[in-house]
Structure 1
Amino acid sequence: MSTDKKEALPAITLAAIGVVYGDIGTSPLYTLRECLSGQFGFGVERDAILGFLSLIFWLLVIVVSVKYLSFVMRADNAGEGGILTLMSLAGRNTSAKMTSVLVIMGLIGGSFFYGEVVITPAISVMSAIEGLEIAAPSLDAYIVPLSIAVLTLLFVIQKHGTGLVGKLFAPIMLTWFLVLAMLGLRSITGNPEVLLALNPMWAAHFFIEYKAVSFVALGAVVLAITGVEALYADMGHFGKLPIRIAWFTVVLPSLVLNYFGQGALLLKSPEAIKNPFFLQAPDWALIPLLILATLATVIASQAVISGVFSLTRQAVRLGYLSPMRIIHTSEMESGQIYIPVINWLLYFAVVLVIVSFERSSNLAAAYGIAVTGTMVLTSILSCTVARKNWHWNKFLVLLIGLVFLCVDVPLFLANVQKIFSGGWLPLCLGLAMFTIMTTWKSERFRLLRRMHEHGNSLEALIASLEKSPPVRVQGTAVYMSRALNVIPFALLHNLKHNKVLHERVILLTLRTEDAPYVHNVKRVSIEPLSPTFWRVVASYGWRETPNVEEVFHRCGLEGLSCRMMETSFFMSHESLIIGKRPWYLRLRGKLFLLLQRNALRAPDQFEIPPNRVIELGTQVEI
């Protein structure tokens, strides 16, 4: 078994290069150009070049290598990562009040990701296609249309799945990183003085020389680490070891060489600031480099799109977003999914961003707030996990937290000044997603509480029905029950209006566990409540999709035989009315009504044949 793992490790590591590092791997296209563009009051000066390079290098070391790869990635839930996973882990061993605070922090982090994901494809693809300015200046007017065309194609193919395209990701991205390294090495050999920036004293000197302006300039430096959250979010796909090996052997050396290569070029030719990435290359290589850069940015965009699909599925399964259609595009890999509504909302948002901002430089002014905000929250949540779950020494955890926050908080504050130059965009998108998630969760809880206010006892009802039963008819009736020991609304209405009961009644509860997967052995638990009533609880992880036919199959193995064509599923359909509320809660209620009307219906959500479903309507005031 270990031999197989050793043989598979190079392949998995190569795949990790293709998917995990797409975003951070395309940052050299625009990062140093934005740092030295003159917007901060200084030009392409020797001290500024060496200072920025030193800051970029040590950010890559401290934030990526130390914080994420060495510390945060230790916090996994059955191998899975991501901000919502971290939120779930952090809240396991804390008080109810503290858990509420941690949940809010996790949801804010998840919402920030939605804000960031709109900008990433736009800035990445535009910065690659802007290489046309160097190769053929007359084609400058076509940058926006070409960017939209490339991204349109990318979003259109999402419904076909990314499995086939994924096989091309790894070799293309490996080629990309090797080209980054070669371009950088070529420039460094012509001006090795740039290697002085490896000394952290140049970063300190940068702050001393440029004073307050240097703090504002951190908002551009953070562009070098914008893809850092993907390392943690994609941990479940590839595992920790391949992601770490890929970073230290390929990605980090290539990025450092390329950034320093651009710095060497600028030390020699300050006018190359127009586009230092493409001007590193010899003239004959411009067109091939432009094509390779476009492919690399498409891959970076694909990784982010896949990430937002995964985050959405997790939020739906945890009850923070309304049910929506989730299509599995691969029979082998559960992580390959397609969510139509998210795909097209994201596409229109990205196109709107490209048309509005027109240049990647303008987008860079909007980029960073969401990323650094998530970084701050990740530091707090991961330190909570270290203290509460791993039981690390509190002084050690405090020290680690302070070190990380001393990096994260200044980066976040430096990006706050971007609000009026475009930073409002990710914040508004994040605020919208946070409002939607908290509204769905709280209003859904309010609805369920109202529906269960009748106060009748399930045990007493079953005992009464067994003692003096109504008319019994052949077959099996399944009543979907959201909570144990609660009478399903549909059961009460069926008895009230139809005054009949099937000869066998199953109360089915589908439960989402705090884990990505549930072993098949623990999938179904069956409890007889009386001679004719059964309780079935089916447990699923948040990366799994519930399926009633699979539940029936498991029930058959446990001795409770169910045939789909002899079973009727009774479900309640709630017509909601908003009661008396303050105006702001009334607005939230209206948002919930909108989400409820557009939510995926239970038969579609759990793959129940439509001709086996009976819906009983009820009016509920919330």
Structure 2
Amino acid sequence: MVEEELKGKEAGSSRFDRSSSFEFVESGGSKLHNSKVDWGTILHLAFQSIGVVYGDVGTSPLYVFSSTFTSGINHKDDILGVLSIILYTLTLIPLVKYVFIVLQANDNGDGGTFALYSLICRYAKVSLIPNQQVEDQNVSNYQLQLPSKRLQLASWLKSRLEASGFAKYLLLFATMLGTSMVIGDGVLTPCISVLSAVGGIQSATTEMTQDRIVWISAAILVLLFLLQSFGTDKVGYIFAPVICVWFAMIAGIGVFNFIKYDPTVIKAVNPYYIVDYFKRNKKEAWISLGGAVLSITGTEALFADVGHFTVKSIQISMCSITYPSLILAYFGQSSYLRMHKEDVANTFYKSIPRVTLGFKSTVKIGNAYGIAVVFVMVLTSMLLVLIMVMIWKTHILLVIIYVLVIGTVELIYLSSVLYKFDDGGYLSLLVALILVTVMYVWNYVYCKKYTYELAHKISPDKLRQISADPSLCRLPGLAIFYSELVHGIPPIFQHYVENVPALHSILVFVSIKALPISKVPLEERFLFKRFQPKEMNVFRCIVRYGYKDVSFKEYSFETMLVDKLKQYLAEELSIKSSSNESSGDVVSGATDQNAGNEIQNVVFNDEEERKKVLEKVERGSREGVVHFLGESEVVAGEGANLGKKIVINYAYNVLRRNLRQSNKVFDVPHKRLVKVGMTYDL
């Protein structure tokens, strides 16, 4: 079996993929690839995206006018002012900002707050845990396509961020808050959409009470969440035709109402009506922005869900279907309201031609929803400006225009929605606060734990000393020690040897490392390095994964690791053989014959060594693979204050016990699992 593998390696020795070797990546080798998607696939994904991305923003016409004019319409031209606000809000935020700017800041096709943060972390050393090792730069999707032109502002901003501990924590906090707000957004979105839709039944029958609406809405929400278990692909196919019909209907009804009632609402394209609206209503106009902002609910999904589709598919579906349908719907509703101001509380259903438990109405949900929506948008803009200046090196005038136009609009909306904090708006912030607290506790203790292991790691000299100890028994088989420490051997190894003076014939120290990218290609996950002297048969392996690589279930982790180890050894010896063969070019004269014979002997010896090493690994894996997991308990060190003790001794340990254990993540066979306990005083 080993000989057949060697023959295959020999036949393609010139084409070895050496990306699994530390020596190769440290010398600067890389393997970049670009994948192109044909237009047929793009259009197919654009259709699917309609069923996944636009459900929130597509249902916003159900409640925007009722949420904006909560006290009724005082002046006929107020409708034009609000319509103009909606028109320019839809144009500036979803279309200009997200579709044409933010989508370009995707992380290898993935979007969301973490995508923006990962881009910044890859360009500047702002991560609280070191993440910019040489070997990581050679992951095919790690590199950023940076403009060649260097700007002084970009370099200055990068150096300032890297030098400021406060800036690093602020970036992390902004990322946590943005992610938490998106989760809160996801909690509230179905509630307000379904409750508004079911509430329309009251227009048809007086027998439908508010309590019945609430319970029917709750049942529909349960059904919708159950459908999500089928995956994005099937959900897209199920809902895309439905939402396409929905957009066609609201657009058609909008055109009908626009022609029938008051076509003069076209005047709302003039932004003067916004100024006039604020002059006439002053504070009430500012407060009403909390309702108008609901016209862009779910906009963050354009960016967050791009990983399921492509940038072009989102752009096509938004520009060709969603945006024009919404504009027509709002113009139609405005035309109707110009003639029927009294129907503002139920605009959507009244304008149709004749055909949640905790809130019980869309008003308070809308207030909470508005805060979540606008907070995410503002945080996205903050991170995006850093990317524009530092990574894209955008001209400073364009950055200033973005901040003055988009930033000002979003901050005005934020001030308006925060005004309604005590009227239901607190919910989204409460959800975000809980989630941010959980994330902070985990990150704080994780960093402390990592720092402890780094300070107490075992040096290569100490490892050689332990391995050479004659009192240490070497057992047949292959042992895998898991750790999150990338540099050095974790202290838990020495703790194990001191209590169990026996080691297997082959040792592999596996370090689990999260990279600031969404996914790491499977063929680039493993990196190996052999400790010297070679006779110890001790290896270090770094397993790299991205923040969207959920688990290792797609392959047998143990089998992959052993195969990659054998590949690394074969490549290592092949490189050595190639070096010896190339040295024959410099020999000349009478010594050619002897030199040639010497080279042949060296190559033959290398082949023999290669076979022996590979056979040893093969035999070790056959004799049995044992997995060693550190069961480290963390406690606050002596003299720690009360807050630190609560966070480390209680909060963190509660979270750790409720997370999936490492043996489940790596699918480690229970019969071959050994847990090594140790206490870390942090």
Structure 2: which amino acid aligns with 1:566?
Answer: G
Task: Give the residue type in structure 2 aligned to 1:438.
Answer: Y
Shift of 1:464: 4.0
Taking the aligned partners of 1:358 and 1:573, their CA distance within structure 2 comes to 47
Tell me which residue corresponds to 1:137: 206
1:480-523 deviation per Cα after TM superposition (whole angstroms, max 9, x unaligned): 12113332344223211111010110011122222222234422
CA pair 264-142 structure 1, distance change in 2 beyond 3 A = same
| Per-residue Cα deviation, 1:497-553 (whole angstroms, up to 9, x for no partner) | 111010110011122222222234422222111331011112222222443233334
**Matches of 1:540 and 1:433 in 2, distance apart?**
23
Q: Which of 83, 89, 101 is matched with 1:71 structurally?
A: 101
| C-alpha displacement of 1:43 | 2.2
In structure 2, relative to structure 1, the CA distance for the partners of 1:615 and 1:602 (3 Å cut) is same
Which sits farther off after the overlay, 497-506 or 523-532?
523-532
Cα 1:461–1:556 change in 2 (3 A) is: closer
The residue that corresponds to 1:570 in the other structure is 628
> Structure 1 498/620 Cα, relative in aligned 2: closer, same or farther at 3 Å?
same
Rounded Cα–Cα distance in structure 2 between residues aligned with 1:89 and 1:502: 41
* C-alpha separation in 1, matches of 2:363 and 2:342: 17
Q: Secondary structure at the residue paired with 1:365? A: helix
Give 1:533's aligned residue: 538
Residue-by-residue CA offset, 1:239-296 (whole Å, 9 max, x unaligned): 111111111111111101111111111111222223111222233x3xxxxxxxxxxx
The 10-residue stretch of structure 1 (96-105 or 600-609) with the greater mean CA deviation from structure 2: 96-105
CA pair 277-484 structure 1, distance change in 2 beyond 3 A: same
Counterpart of 1:362 in 2: which secondary structure? Answer: helix
Aligned-partner Cα distance in 1 for 2:81–2:353: 27
Q: Which amino acid aligns with 1:77?
A: D
Within the candidate set 115, 124, 146, 2:193 is matched to 124
From 557, 561, 566, the counterpart of 1:551: 561
Q: 1:587 aligns with which of 633, 639, 646?
A: 646
SS at match of 1:357: coil
CA distance in 2, matches of 1:557, 1:597: 37
Q: Which residue of 2 aligns with 1:273?
A: 344
Distance 1:2 1:575 in 2: 45
2:388 aligned residue (386, 389, 392): 386
What's the CA shift for 1:70? 1.6
Q: Is the 8 A contact 1:369 1:415 kept in 2?
A: yes
Contact 2:457–2:490, Cα closer than 8 Å, also in 1: no
The separation in 2 between residues aligned to 1:452 and 1:419, in whole angstroms, is 45
- Aligned match of 1:349: none
Matches within 5 A, 1:30-41: 30-38=63-71
> What is the distance in 2 between the residues matched to 1:402 and 1:469?
72
Instruction: Label 1:3 to 1:131 Cα distance change in 2 as closer, same or farther (>3 A).
Output: same
Q: Is 1:264 matched with 2:266?
A: no
Matched with 1:337 is none
* Kept after mapping to 1: 8 A contact 2:112/2:303: yes
Tell me the C-alpha RMSD between the 2 structures: 2.2
Q: Can you list the C-alpha shifts for 1:106-136, whole angstroms capped at 9, x where unaligned? A: 2221122122222111111111110110122
Q: CA deviation at 1:34?
A: 1.1
Alignment of 1:542 with 2:547, yes or no, is: yes
Give CA deviations for 1:41-60 in whole Å, capped at 9, x if unaligned.
Answer: x5253111111111000000
Structure 1's 564 and 376: CA in aligned 2 closer, same or farther, altered over 3 A? farther
| 1:82 maps onto 2:87 in alignment | no
Q: Distance in 2 between matches of 1:485 and 1:9?
A: 43
> Mean alpha-carbon deviation: is it higher for 406-415 or for 550-559?
550-559
- Give the distance between the partners of 2:348 and 2:231, measured in 1 at CA: 32
Task: Tell me which residue corresponds to 2:680.
Answer: 620
Query: Is residue 250 of structure 1 aligned with residue 321 of structure 2?
Result: yes
Q: Give, as a single letter, the amino acid of the residue that structure 1 aligns with 2:171.
A: L
Inter-partner Cα distance in structure 1 for 2:322 and 2:456: 60
* Aligned-partner Cα distance in 2 for 1:116–1:3: 33
Q: Which residue of 2 aligns with 1:599?
A: 659
Distance in 1 between residues matched to 2:35 and 2:546, nearest whole Å: 28
| Partner SS for 2:208 | helix
The residue correspondences of 1:343-422 to structure 2 (distance < 5 A) are 354-422=356-424
Counterpart check, 1:50 vs 2:60: no
What is the CA distance between 1:565 and its match in structure 2? 7.5
Change (3 A) 1:87 1:131: same
Query: For residues 182 and 25 of structure 1, what CA distance do their matches in structure 2 show?
Result: 14
Q: Distance in 2 between matches of 1:449 and 1:75?
A: 32
Indicate conservation of the 8 Å contact 2:471/2:501, yes or no: no
Which amino acid in structure 2 is aligned with residue 495 of structure 1?
A: V
Length-normalised TM-score, structure 1? 0.84
Per the alignment, residue 15 of structure 2 pairs with: none
TM-score (norm 2): 0.77
Quote the offset at 1:593 in angstroms: 1.6
Instruction: Between 517-526 and 219-228, report the one with greater CA deviation.
Output: 517-526
Contact preservation (8 Å) 1:12, 1:238: yes
Distance in 2, Cα, partners of 1:2 & 1:86: 22
Cα separation, 1, equivalents of 2:193 and 2:640: 45
1:399-455 Cα deviation digits (max 9, x unpaired): 322222111111101111111001111101111111111110111111233345446
Q: Which amino acid aligns with 2:656?
A: Q
What count of residue pairs does the alignment treat as equivalent?
A: 550
Partners of 2:485 and 2:176 in 1: how far apart? Answer: 24
Say which of 195, 210, 219 aligns to 1:149. 219
Q: Which residue of 1 aligns with 2:257?
A: 187
In structure 1, the gaps of 5 or more residues are 286-353
SS at match of 2:674: strand
CA contact (8 A) 1:506 1:533 kept: yes
Q: Which amino acid aligns with 1:29?
A: L
CA gap of 1:576–1:365, structure 2 versus 1, over 3 A, is same
Separation in structure 2 between the aligned mates of residue 145 and residue 601 of structure 1, nearest angstrom: 38
In the alignment, the residues of structure 2 paired with residue 355 and residue 462 of structure 1 have an alpha-carbon distance, to the nearest angstrom, of 65
Partner Cα distance (1:447, 1:521) in 2: 30
* Change beyond 3 A, Cα 1:567–1:387: same
Higher alpha-carbon Rg = 2
SS at match of 2:308: helix
AA in 2 matched with 1:394: I
CA contact (8 A) 1:540 1:546 kept: no
Q: CA deviation at 1:373?
A: 1.4
Separation in structure 2 between the aligned mates of residue 364 and residue 546 of structure 1, nearest angstrom = 37
Structure 2 Cα separation of the partners of residues 439 and 116 of structure 1: 22
Change over 3 Å in CA distance of 1:418–1:357 after alignment to 2: same
- For 1:164 and 1:399, the matched residues in 2 are separated by 41
User: Structure 1: how far apart are the matches of 2:182 and 2:35?
Assistant: 37
Choose the corresponding residue for 1:431, options 430, 433, 440: 433
CA 1:85–1:211 in 2, change beyond 3 Å: closer, same or farther?
same
**Do the aligned residues in 2 keep the contact of 1:491 with 1:570 (CA within 8 Å)?**
no
Equivalent residue for 2:174, pick from 88, 102, 105: 105
1:164 maps to what in 2?
A: 234
Counterpart-to-counterpart distance in 2, 1:90 and 1:80: 14
Counterpart for residue 115 of structure 1: 184
Percent identity reads 29
Once the two structures are overlaid, the 10-residue window that deviates more, 190-199 or 151-160, is 151-160
Q: Map Cα deviations across residues 208-263 of structure 1 (whole Å, 9 max, x no partner).
A: 21122211111111101121111111122211111111111111111011111111
Counterpart mapping for 1:201-240 below 5 A: 201-240=272-311
